[in-house]
Structure 1
Amino acid sequence: MSVSYGNIAAVQGLSLRVQPGEIVTLIGSNGAGKSTTLRTISGLLKPRAGTVKFEGRKINGMAGHDIVKIGICHSPEGRRIFQRMTVSENLDLGAFLRKDHEQIAADRENVLTLFPVLRERLQQKAGTMSGGEQQMLAVARALLGNPKLLLLDEPSMGLAPVYVDVIFDTIEKIRDQGVTVLVVEQNALAALRIADYAYVLESGRLAL
């Protein structure tokens, strides 16, 4: 797969595979194309060349909301929560494409169990929470899309060490619940601690 921004090549010749039930991490320096890779998988960008497949189906060219419907949810770099909305309202938006109301309620209870602090903050404006709490909310919101594959972009960025441990321990729990995870991360030690394996992306080159 190759991806460009205009005439600037962001990713060249990338080939990676994520098997069901795995945690796979993509690590590398700034500008290596890690976030671009996730944006392309989730339909925010289109590859210049190559194919993105999910469960044997070609998905590049599909609209982002359709990619969410087939089971790929993306928690982007920088969290991107709705800061003026409450925690509860942010969680509701994670499930906006779903119609299975009973299962949504069960999934909501599950994310509040995974992230107990969010239960205490349900009526609080999301923008008033700490960075670590906002990151938990971003991951929880993505989980309410009922993903088969969860894309996490820099989940530990800017967090205190105690929150880094919480986030990565929770990623393991998410995998144990049957969700496959592809995580982009600059904190290589934390990411490798939980990953089944890793890809290293550097200046457009990829290595296992």
Structure 2
Amino acid sequence: MSFAYADAEPLLALDDLHVSYGNIAAVKGLTLRVMPGEIVTLIGSNGAGKSTTLRTISGLQRPRRGTITFQGKRIDGLPTHEIVRLGIAQAPEGRRIFPRMSVRENLELGAFLRQDQDGLAADQDYVLTLFPRLNERLEQKAGTMSGGEQQMLAVARALMARPTLLLLDEPSMGLAPVLVELIFDTISRIREQGTTVLLVEQNALAALGVADRAYVLESGHLKLEGRAASLASDPEIAKAYLGG
């Protein structure tokens, strides 16, 4: 299945991306596009190469072959801090907040590379509006919060970099259903504020419900791509990933 991009320029383009861990190939010839203003999701089983794809976009893993282009600029090979400076931020799998630091300090670290100090207060107000619970815990040590609150903090910290493209890796992992709904509602709100989102998610049904388009990975290969709503109604996808 293919998707027509018309004449629009993608915000992010991966072309024939190959990524390996030693002799183990994790991503095998992946090509994808993320257009400005979209929510795009990568779905697939464990080991499909989803998180590796995000890590490679962020510069945490180097591709063996292929290219990554962001806003028309090649970024494969750049160090992570330069990629963040260009406008890509990631909320990683497992949250990776700094547990001994306060919520406020974690948010400040998210904006570490920014030069526009005048905008920091407004952006902190914005993320605290998205996640009001964090506003109640600004001086609390991040490690003492619940898993759901830590996930909110991981997303909020990434947003403090004021990214053009937000990478989210398994944001619903380990969360109660009510918090999963909150997280996905918030992802929609983030897009409404102008941030493009690339989402990796095991909860395929929730991911397809919020995304515009989806890519299905299987053992490092691209198996399907298309409109999220169409894939959600595909019997093969339902059987393999949605419990249908």
**TM-score category of the 2 structures, normalised to the smaller one:** over 0.9
Secondary structure class of the residue paired with 2:90: strand
* TM-score, length-scaled by structure 2: 0.85
Instruction: Report the CA distance between 1:105 and its aligned residue.
Output: 1.0
Structure of larger gyration radius: 2
1:115-147 CA distance string (max 9 Å, x none): 000000001110111100000000000000010
Q: Counterparts in 2 of 1:1-208, with a 5 A limit?
A: 1-206=17-222, 207-208=224-225
Over the aligned positions, Cα root-mean-square deviation in angstroms equals 0.5
1:2-36 CA distance string (max 9 Å, x none): 00011110100101100000000000000011000
2:106 counterpart letter in structure 1 = N
CA distance in 2, matches of 1:102, 1:108: 11
What's the % identity of the aligned pairs? 73
CA distance in 1, matches of 2:65, 2:77: 12
1:20-64 CA distance string (max 9 Å, x none): 000000000000110000000011111100000001110000010
Instruction: Report the CA distance between 1:205 and its aligned residue.
Output: 1.8
CA distance in 2, matches of 1:55, 1:100: 21
CA distance in 1, matches of 2:130, 2:118: 19
The answer for unaligned runs of 5 or more in structure 2 is 1-16, 226-244
CA distance in 1, matches of 2:208, 2:109: 31
CA distance in 2, matches of 1:204, 1:104: 39
Instruction: Report the CA distance between 1:101 and its aligned residue.
Output: 1.1
Secondary structure class of the residue paired with 2:153: helix
CA distance in 2, matches of 1:150, 1:98: 16
CA distance in 2, matches of 1:92, 1:204: 36
Q: Which has the higher contact order (CA 8 A, sep 6+)?
A: 1
Instruction: Report the CA distance between 1:70 and its aligned residue.
Output: 0.4
1:51-101 CA distance string (max 9 Å, x none): 000011100000100000000001100000000111000000000001211
2:98 counterpart letter in structure 1 = F
Q: Kindly tell me the number of residue pairs found equivalent between the two proteins.
A: 208
> 1 or 2, which has the higher strand percentage?
2
Secondary structure class of the residue paired with 1:17: strand
CA distance in 1, matches of 2:100, 2:178: 26
